[in-house]
Chain A
Amino acid sequence: MKACLIVDDSRVVRSVARGIVRQLGFETAEAADGAAALEACEARMPDVVLLDWNMPVMNGLEFLHALRARPDGGRPKVVFCTSENELPHIEQALAAGADEYIMKPFDKDIVETKFTLVGVL
């Protein structure tokens, strides 16, 4: 079973995302900030990361840079999932190595679309 790491500082968002991602057939792990997400990747590199942008300690963009700098950090697909919905943010995310971008609010259709687009479904 493929693994999805859900990174968001909101417990409610993580819970909603967990329900959707499990319905799509993934095992899930969770982290509340970028630093915790890096630790989770140390333990087990996921197939896909659903990544919030604004978080304490280490934000999503910083996490993405750190992940992609790792020798094995190019493998996971990274789908941003954030309330930042302006063009410059989206461009910045893709330039940093994100594979897709979800603007909150989201639903199962959108997550399924984006996971299909990045090739994990």
Chain B
Amino acid sequence: MSPHDFAYLAGLLKQRSGLILTADKEYLLESRLRPLIRSRGLTDFREFVNALRTGDRALIDDVVEAMTTNETSFFRDIKPFQLVRSFVLPALLAARADTRQLRIWCAACSTGQEPYSLAMVLDDERVRLEGWTWQIVATDIAPSVLAKARNGLYSQFEVQRGLPTPMLLKHFTKSGDSWQLKEEMRRKVMFRTVNLLDDLRGLGRFDLIFLRNVLIYFDPPTKSVILEKVSRQLATDGFLFLGGAETVIGVTQAFEPVPDQRGIYRPTGTTPTFAVASQPARPGLAGVRA
């Protein structure tokens, strides 16, 4: 790939998705776009870039999708899901006692394990949520991963990475060598194709937003833009979860960290959360009951 072609592709990705591709990531571009080049009957990157220059929208979308990282697992990192149950949910149940409605957004949800994990947590809490309505909206830039997410069909490897076996038994059926989430759980999550750089206002307001392991792929100005846009979709007393390697500090003034709760942020100026009766520390996912 010539430096010229690399520069064009990196610029295209930055413009369309905000993804940053530094020169040391040329191998990533090569390995992920080669199959796309072959599938289009093209021979090399020069021809491929020429095709992109014609403004072929479908091809541009394919490039963005091919370059998106879709690493995910059920209950990834465990702790955030324990905190939803022990810290966030009690606060929201008190704050929304009049409307008895909760809206949750999983941004960049990939193949659906994260929103479905949240759905399983809320399903576990159905006694506390009796008489409440809740909705999980899950979005991603890549339509193909959303198709898999909607289908809720996962390999044996995927269901064993993070998912407690009692939850597997409760929420999945075996389908050949794979496992499918039962329809009643699939219906609890609404999937939509959304580019975080686009206008997000159509999504409405949320009480809890998961934006985990997404910002790491963007440069500081793009992180700032996305966080500002996300802040406008979060209730003024809502909660934002970021990944363990991400922060708002030095990026935006819109959020501030919740003291002593790693990875949780609230809109700046939110009244400190009242004392929530924290669950005792328990191992593993015991805090997320099956």
Contacts and interface: CB of A to CB of B under 8 A. Distances in A.
Interface in A89-121: 90-91, 94, 100-103, 106-107, 109-110, 113-114, 116-120
B165 A90 contact: yes
A50 B261 CA distance: 34
B160 A113 contact: yes
Given A86-B174, A103-B156, A118-B283, A113 B162 contact: yes
Contact of A90 (B78, B161, B162, B168): B168
A117 B164 contact: yes
A118 B78 CA distance: 13
Interface residues of B, number: 17
B203 interface: no
A87 B169 contact: yes
B286 interface: yes
Given A116-B78, A116-B284, A94 B165 contact: yes
Contacts of B174: 85-87
Contacts of B284: 116-119
A115 B166 CA distance: 15
Nearest to A98: B165
Contacts of B282: 119
Contacts of A119: 282-284, 286
B49 to A, nearest CB: 37
Interface string B54-94: 00000000000000000000000010000000000000000
Nearest to B285: A117
A106 B160 contact: yes
Interface of B: 78, 156-157, 160-162, 164-166, 168-169, 174, 282-286
Q: When A and B form their complex, which 10 residue pairs have the shortest distance between CB atoms, in order from nearest? A: A119-B283, A117-B284, A101-B165, A110-B160, A119-B284, A116-B284, A117-B164, A117-B285, A103-B156, A100-B165
